[in-house]
Structures are given as structure tokens and as C-alpha cells.
A and B are shown apart, each in its own frame.
Chain A
């Protein structure tokens, strides 16, 4: 019989609605990051670098990009004879059929997948964090403590602790209590959403709570385990870890990569991040171009000016264009003399010439003020922006736009243009 000591279940079904137009048509784990990567590359690379060669990827929301990216797992060496990567979408059953209603429910629905590998431990990951972590070290910790559940935790500043699930431990790392987004946190150990379960404990709790609507690890499974007197341990992680759940944090995490010695270093030899790259040709920097403090990916052609920015593969920055403090994703073209300031421009966008993006005063976004903020201008994938328009801060644009969408040639700060086909 097949036997794997530990398998990983990677939750990649969430929309990540706080990323606004970036996740309108792709699941959050498939959103580009750091020029040539996608967010899911980080947990997948961590898995293979930690010696975990069996990974189930649970998908649900807009999975096309994710499916084509993962394929049979070749970029991560996860194309194995036994194990490897398996994409696990929700499926129809003879008696009941349901979507994945919660994180634990999704895992429960794939009990058969896990049983096939007869694991001793199951690692639960989410597909929306940027970090490098050796899960094997965490497993050693789990074994040494004879734990049933080990939760990776990170110390956060006390004033931010109320945004997280907080673990309260005794002196030895054993979890005595936990609270979800507490108003008055009793500890600063925040759960990172990474769990190692001993298979028996996981199976028992999933079956016990199978009728729980929206069954969730933080809300239901962990309290159940604690009530049953299982051993819960907190594994303290002190490396770089970033939740890129909001546009602001996503932008910031990208910008941190540009630092001279970035806290999160992609250039380390011993913990490579793998990805499926379609572009291999070198980038070209023209005689008139200016590039400073930026990351630029394969195949980009830079004729204009790029400062403090992260540029994806195959991007063209035309002569006279100026890009500052921005993220430009794969395949996008920035027209001549266009200026882009503090913007996130998704994949395969065409920006005309003489456009100004990210100008003027900040104003509250008319559509979703909680999402489009921090002065960012955000353009969704495959959008087209006509020549000559001005686009303000805290704005969002999707779809093919024409001059008529810009009264007076302008989308003022806080404005939004949604795609016309209503999608």
C-alpha cells in the first residue's frame, strides 16, 4: 500500500475579494507576485523544498489560471509517479453535492484523497501567503511534542494582534486557549493558518464535525480538538511572512522586494522559488531608458523610465513613459509618454499613450472604499485604457474602456469603471 509520512493540503479556493479587480477573474493564489511568480508558487516551492512530494490543491473560485499554472506540477518537480500534485475541485456525489463551504469542509470532502496515501501527518496550508518555511522542522517540533495539532504562529506587534487569531500558550508552547480577532488580546502569537495534524486527530475531528455548516479550522476544528483534550502546540516562526490579502499589503510586499537587501530574499540559492515561466528571452533596456531600484522580469522591453517598481515578464514600457512605485504584471504595454504612479496594473493590459495614472488628490472610492484605498490606482487584467486620459488615486478599472468612459478625459480620484459585460 502507498504510504506517505506527511502530505500537504493546500487551500486555494478562496476569491480574495479584498484584492478587488485583481481577483475578479482569477483565484487569489494565481495572482502574480514579484514580477514572475504567482502567490501559490511560495507554498508549493516550500513543500518540495521541505521534502513533501504529495500535495492536494483544493480549488473552487475561478480555477482556470490556477489549473494551467499548476498543470502536472513539472516546475516544482511535483510530477511524481506516486504522489505529486493533484488539483482537487469540488465534485458531485450520489447523495448530496455541495461546494466547499469552509476550509475544514473542503478538506473533509477530500477524505478519500488523503486516505489513499495513508499519511501519519497532514499539513494544511493556504495559498495566499508569501514566506519561506521548512515544514520538516515544524514536523520535527510536532513529533517532539507528541502533539495532535501544531499551529504555526508568528509574534505580531501587540496593537495589531486584534486582527488575527491569537494563541495563548503556557511556557512550553502548549496552547491553553485561543481567541479569534480578540478586542483585548492576551498574547501576540498570531496563527499563520498553517497546521500540522496527526492524521488520526484530523480524521476524527472532520468526521465529528461533518454536519457543521461552513466548517472552518479556526472556528470549529481547533475548538473541537481543544475540548477533546488533544495536545495543541504553537510553533513559533520568526522569518518573513506576509499575508497579501489587501491591495495595500500586496503592493507593500512587492515593494519590499526592491530593497537593497530585501528581508525576503529571492536570490538565495538554497531555497529556490519555482514557477511556470513561459518567457525565457532576456530583457532589453534601451539606450534612452532609465531603470533604478526595480525588479524586471524576463522579456521586458524598457524604453522609458522605471523607478521603484516591479515589472513582470514580457512587459513593454514605451519611450517617454515613466513608471514609479508601481507593479506592472506580465504582458502589459505602457504607451508612450504615459506616467504611472503608485499603481497596480494586472496582466495583459494595454495603456495608451499620454495617459496619466495615479494623479491628483486622494478621494474615497465610490464603489468599495475599504478595498480601493491607500492612494493606489488598480487596473484589472486585459483592460484597455485609451490614450490621453487622466486617472486619479483610489481608482479601479476593468475591461476595455474608451474615451466615453472618461467624462472630460478624466477618471477622478475615487472613481471606478466596471467592465461592461456585467461580469
Chain B
């Protein structure tokens, strides 16, 4: 393969509210049986990228556990592999990653030792499918220095993204990061293709100037100097880094066309295998328009919801329009509506949770006696 992959999974975002307290966004469960980073990783595997580095620093335990074997995504183990780079203390550096560019800079030795001529950079919070080879071909055809994959943000608010303007040749003429107001609907997906030597040069220069952010300090400053091009992506793309978009993205999986797009066809999304038994539906269960992951045991009512792995739904429970994350126990008669229930929660019998205006995030750490 001509490219290696770097996944920037360090991020956190207070717009995730309490959900990101216990994990990096890249480790957020998505679509019933996946985690967010599976999408970038599977795209890389399906694009025949064999060597991938994941750069992370915020609460990496979940992510670490999830990535503990490169086997699941079918990366090479001898020719390539999956690398997880967290900040380490060295004689000349004792900083955390101060930004995306700094994160790459701190692992520059690795990048220099690789032999792939190109680098695909992606973030761990995008839900999409793409063949990075197509972007790479485009990059080469345009003789670009950097190619930014961008998309129309449709009903999303563009001001939480990097906003681009392209000329008729698709060259980037304007690039603003999270502007106050925006007259363009074209946003960066955080996926970039760049020649490896070019990246090393930019990152080294950036570090010398004591700058640290890949977008603000490199892309935006170089936008007139270097040939930066936009690659328009018009298929499904969603970013989960706010609680609202996280909820919406999961609910999207209830749509047949979204499921068909991600689950059908030849390029599947891979994930770590969990060895859970099939879901069990006991008498009294009633499930409508919902996604149910393996290991669930259902005794109550579930409607328009996504149940992640190993959720236990007690007798006479009512779950509506909600997302229940992994390993949640719901006691009898619990009522959950318009909620995201944090993983490993134990919800006591007869509890009532309802998001009145917007999504309620339920975090309840009760002791669990059953099972």
C-alpha cells in the first residue's frame, strides 16, 4: 500500500456532556455493536492500509482495551500493524500532546521510519465509509500538497467544524476553523491525504515555531502557499462529538438505507469480537423498530431505540426513543424516554427518566445484585 494511516483520537469535547467523562470520543459505542473508531479503522483496512497509528491521550482505557489486537480489523501484524501512541516522557519532552500537530511531532521518529510515500490522517469521531485510495488518486491527479475531504453539512450547524471555500478547480481558497458565522456549508471531515515527507517537513517547522495544531497552525496558515484541495464526499458522514449528534447518529441506524449502506455490501465495518450469546426475548417482551445487540435479555417494551451489548431489560420496563449503552441493567418497571443511558449503569426498579426538551443523559451508579 502506498499510504499509512494516522487516527487522531485524542479529543474530548465538553459538548458530549457527561458521556466523555469516562472515555475518549473515539471509543464511544455506535450503531449497537461498534465503537466510533471502528469506522475509520475499517475504512483503512478496506482501503488496504496496513500500518495505522492511533494517537490518543484522553482517558484511553476503553480505547486501549478495544484496540488490544490488530487482528479484528485485519491489519498486518508483520508487514505493518496497529500502533497505539500515548504521550511518553523522554529526555527532551515531558509534555502531553498539546495539539494534533504536536501529537504527530512527538511520534515523528516512527513516521520517519515508515516507508509508505503517503499518509491518510483521519479522526476517530467520524461515522462514514470511504475508499481512501480514491482520495489518494484524486490527490495525485490534482498534484496537491494536501487534500482535505469535505462534505456539505446539510442540517448540521457548520460553525462547529472547519469551514471551507473552494474555487471551481476545487482548490481551497478559504478555510476557517469553527467560525462565529459561516456563509459556506462546506465543512472539513477531518480526513486528509498528504505526502509523508511533506507532512514531516510541515510538522517539524510547526514545532520549531512552537505551534501545535494541525488545522490552525498548518492548514490555515499554508492555505495560500501550498496547493490544498478539497475532495467532496457526498455519501453518509456524521460526526458524533456532541451529545445531540451522537444521539442522532445512532438513531440513523434505525433507517434501512443507513443500515444497508454500512452493513450491506463488500466492505464491512469490523469491530472487536465480544463472544456474547444471542439476544434473548422472554415472554412479555415487545420490541418495535429497534436495534438490539448480542447478549441482551429483554423482558419489557422497547421502541425506537438502540440497545447496545449485554443490556438487561426488566419486566414491564418501557424504553422509548433511547440509546442504552453496553452492559446496562434496567430494573423492573423502569421508564426511559428520550435518554442516553451510560454504559454499566444499574437503573433501579420503578425509576423514571424522560428527556423533556432534548436528550437526557442518565448516569446511575447503583449496586447491582442480580445476575
Interface residues of A (CB under 8 A from B): 34-36, 74-75, 258, 260, 266-267, 272-275, 277, 280-299, 310-311
Contact = CB atoms under 8 A, between A and B. Distances in A.
Q: 3 tightest A-B contacts by CB?
A: A282-B32, A266-B277, A35-B278
B282 A286 contact: no
A284 B279 CA distance: 11
A191 B298 CA distance: 38
B295 interface: yes
A258 B280 CA distance: 7
A280 B259 contact: no
B65 interface: no
A277 B273 contact: yes
A281 B263 contact: yes
B293 A36 contact: no
B278 A282 contact: no
Given A295-B278, A296-B281, A299-B263, A285 B297 contact: no
Interface string B292-307: 1111010000000011
Interface string B238-254: 00000000000000011
B65 to A, nearest CB: 16
B301 to A, nearest CB: 12
Contacts of B254: 284
B281 A267 contact: no
A275 B282 contact: no
A282 B294 CA distance: 7
Of the candidates A36, A281, A284, A290, the one having the most CB atoms from chain B within 10 angstroms of its own CB is A281
Interface string B35-79: 000000000000000000000000000000000000100000000
Contacts of B278: 34-36, 266, 295-298, 310-311
Contact of B292 (A272, A282, A288): A282
A295 B280 contact: yes
Nearest to B292: A283
Nearest to A309: B281
Interface stretch (B10-18, B136-144, B168-176, B283-291): B283-291
Interface in B254-279: 254, 259, 262-263, 269-271, 273, 275, 277-279
Interface of B: 31-34, 71, 253-254, 259, 262-263, 269-271, 273, 275, 277-283, 285-295, 297, 306-307, 371
A296 B277 contact: no
16 contacts: A34-B277, A35-B277, A36-B277, A36-B278, A280-B33, A280-B271, A281-B263, A282-B291, A282-B293, A285-B288, A286-B289, A295-B278, A296-B278, A296-B281, A298-B293, A311-B278
A283 B280 contact: no
A344 B31 CA distance: 31
B279 A295 contact: yes
B277 A291 contact: no
B279 A296 contact: yes
Of the candidates B32, B33, B34, B280, the one having the most CB atoms from chain A within 10 angstroms of its own CB is B280
Nearest to A274: B275
A175 B273 CA distance: 44
A260 B299 CA distance: 10
Contacts of A273: 275, 277
- Chain B facing A: main interface SS: loop
Contacts of B292: 282-285, 296
A292 B291 contact: no
A139 to B, nearest CB: 25
Nearest to A302: B287
Given A36-B294, A295-B278, 13 more contacts: A34-B277, A74-B71, A75-B273, A267-B277, A282-B253, A282-B293, A285-B288, A285-B289, A285-B290, A292-B283, A293-B283, A294-B280, A296-B292
B289 A282 contact: no
Of the candidates A34, A285, A296, the one having the most CB atoms from chain B within 10 angstroms of its own CB is A285
Contacts of A281: 31-33, 259, 262-263, 269
A280 B263 CA distance: 9
A343 B253 CA distance: 32
Contacts of A289: 287-288
Contact of B282 (A260, A266, A283): A260
A280 B277 contact: no
A35 B307 CA distance: 19
Nearest to A283: B292
Given A282-B32, A297-B294, A287 B289 contact: yes
A75 B274 CA distance: 10
Contact of B287 (A36, A74, A274, A285): A285
Nearest to B302: A285
A151 B217 CA distance: 73
Of the candidates A35, A274, A283, A286, the one having the most CB atoms from chain B within 10 angstroms of its own CB is A283
A155 to B, nearest CB: 28
A260 B283 contact: yes
B277 A284 contact: no
Contact of A294 (B271, B275, B281): B281
Of the candidates B262, B293, B297, the one having the most CB atoms from chain A within 10 angstroms of its own CB is B293
Given A75-B273, A292-B281, A293-B283, A267 B291 contact: no
Contacts of B33: 280-282, 298
A261 B111 CA distance: 54
B295 to A, nearest CB: 7
